[in-house]
Structure 1
Amino acid sequence: MTDEEAAAPGPRAPGLRERKKQRMYQAVSEAAIALFLEKGFEKVPVAEVAAAADISKPTLFRYFPTKEDLVLHRFADHQDEAARVVTTRPAKRTPLDALQRHFLDGLERHDPVTGLCDHPAVLAFHRLLYGTPSLVARLYEYQDRSEQTLAEALGGDDPLPARLAAGQIIAVQRILAMENWRRIDAGESADEVWPDAVAAANRGFGQLRSGLAPYA
């Protein structure tokens, strides 16, 4: 870790109440996903999820506004991730450099968010997610939230350039992750895909820097 990275502000530690709430979110979500993987998303009513989690249906909906959120809760923390990377970056590092390094670090860890994870449980989850149209539609809403928070973190007097930049950055990350997932779902291992994933990420962020000149 560099001195700049050590000096960068870290996230606030959650309090007891917040930790208890997060444990409830996780427990209910995991119970729901287990049922969805066993029976299929469309075949499991919300009442069955509530019963499996030992809570009432109204309580479940206080935590998860829609049935789709029971699955996408795993992405909830990532909605503001790009914005956090930008706002906590070292002072001398540009936003795009910070985001590129963060994505490359995720590839190194085989973070599921990068699509480069071949753990059986992650593969099953991604097949559930991308094989269910309503979940894919809800995922786009999560990504829209990522664009909004990233645009706010990028700042500027005119909000339009920041929003355009945020949309392009989130799109590049999504496409890179989907390509990694596509290859792993086809049978390649994460280790096999990793060198190409790194090269593609560098190329993608390079294109963000150069803009659309090749297509102009």
Structure 2
Amino acid sequence: MVESGLRERKRQRTLQVLSDVAVGLFLEKGFDAVSVAEVAAAAEVSKPTLFRYFPAKEDLVLHRIADHEDEAARVAGQGPDPLDALRLHFLAGLEQGDPVTGLNDRPAVLDFHRLLYGTPALVARMHTQLERSEAALARVLGGDLEARLAAGQIIAVQRILALENWRRIAAGERVADVRPDAVAAAERAFGGLAAGLPGLAVTR
């Protein structure tokens, strides 16, 4: 067990190093201008080794937000009212300036989001990640068609709210000025979900 834990920690460190090296190059030169071979060389690994950790070039970037893939499912499963749990979690993220809500103006975060949202290949790959988030959430909500429809709506609302916040921040607005609108928009959006998804509950 100890050896297995050590291997996993080493693997996670390697993933982080490779991702950090790649993102640094992409931010400097542009995603499309950097080859996988350049990333491998900069990280001092072989291309086969790089592909063993990251099957696609886009995954080097999306690794930074991979831990959010099952976040909605985890949050929804914490109580009897999954939608309210998700609402409160998103509002807490806005208050804390969680980058996943788009309400963060740190230069490194803005640069990363410009790379992510400004690169078509990354946007397309991100949708695959969102589909996995939907699937994980749907399983928590019961796994049937109604659960899948609900999960799709919830994930879409979170994505659109975050994108709107990021667009305003990227355009130069201050976080303090955007936050009240972001909170009001989130309350309206989750209120609409609650009205359209009555009786939503976690299936255990």
- TM > 0.5 between the two? yes
- Kindly state the Cα deviation for residue 44 of structure 1 after the two structures are TM-superposed: 0.5
Instruction: Find the partner of 1:112 among 77, 99, 124.
Output: 99
Q: Does 1:75 align with 2:60?
A: no
Output the amino acid matched with 1:117: N
**SS of the residue aligned with 2:58?**
helix
Q: Does 1:94 align with 2:81?
A: yes
Alignment partners' CA distance in 1, 2:70 and 2:195? 25
Instruction: Find the partner of 1:128 among 112, 115, 121.
Output: 115
Residues 95-115 of structure 1, C-alpha deviations (whole Å, 9 max, x = no match): 001111111111111111000
What's the counterpart of residue 187 of structure 1? 172
What's the counterpart of residue 64 of structure 1? 54
Pairwise CA RMSD of aligned residues? 1.4
Alignment partners' CA distance in 1, 2:136 and 2:81? 17
User: Structure 2: any 5+ residue segments left out of the alignment?
Assistant: 198-204
Residues 2-37 of structure 1, C-alpha deviations (whole Å, 9 max, x = no match): xxxxxxxxxxxx933222211111110010000001
Alignment partners' CA distance in 2, 1:109 and 1:15? 31
Alignment partners' CA distance in 1, 2:9 and 2:92? 26
Instruction: Find the partner of 2:45 among 55, 70, 76.
Output: 55
Structure 1 residues 166, 62: closer, same or farther in 2, change over 3 A?
same
Q: Does 1:155 align with 2:142?
A: yes
TM-score for both structures, normalised by structure 2: 0.92
User: Structure 1: any 5+ residue segments left out of the alignment?
Assistant: 1-13
- Kindly state the Cα deviation for residue 136 of structure 1 after the two structures are TM-superposed: 0.4
Output the amino acid matched with 1:154: L
Instruction: Find the partner of 1:176 among 145, 155, 161.
Output: 161
Residues 154-212 of structure 1, C-alpha deviations (whole Å, 9 max, x = no match): 116xx100000000000000010011001001101222211111111111100001129
Q: Percent identity?
A: 71
Alignment partners' CA distance in 2, 1:176 and 1:18? 34
**SS of the residue aligned with 1:15?**
helix
Alignment partners' CA distance in 2, 1:15 and 1:109? 31
Q: Does 1:167 align with 2:152?
A: yes
Instruction: Find the partner of 2:188 among 197, 200, 203.
Output: 203
Output the amino acid matched with 1:23: R
Alignment partners' CA distance in 2, 1:18 and 1:153? 26
**SS of the residue aligned with 1:67?**
coil
Matched length:
194
Q: More relative contact order in 1 or in 2 (CA 8 Å, sep 6+)?
A: 2
Alignment partners' CA distance in 2, 1:39 and 1:166? 37
List 4+ stretches of structure 1 deviating above 3 A. none
Deviates more, 1:14-23 or 1:37-46: 14-23
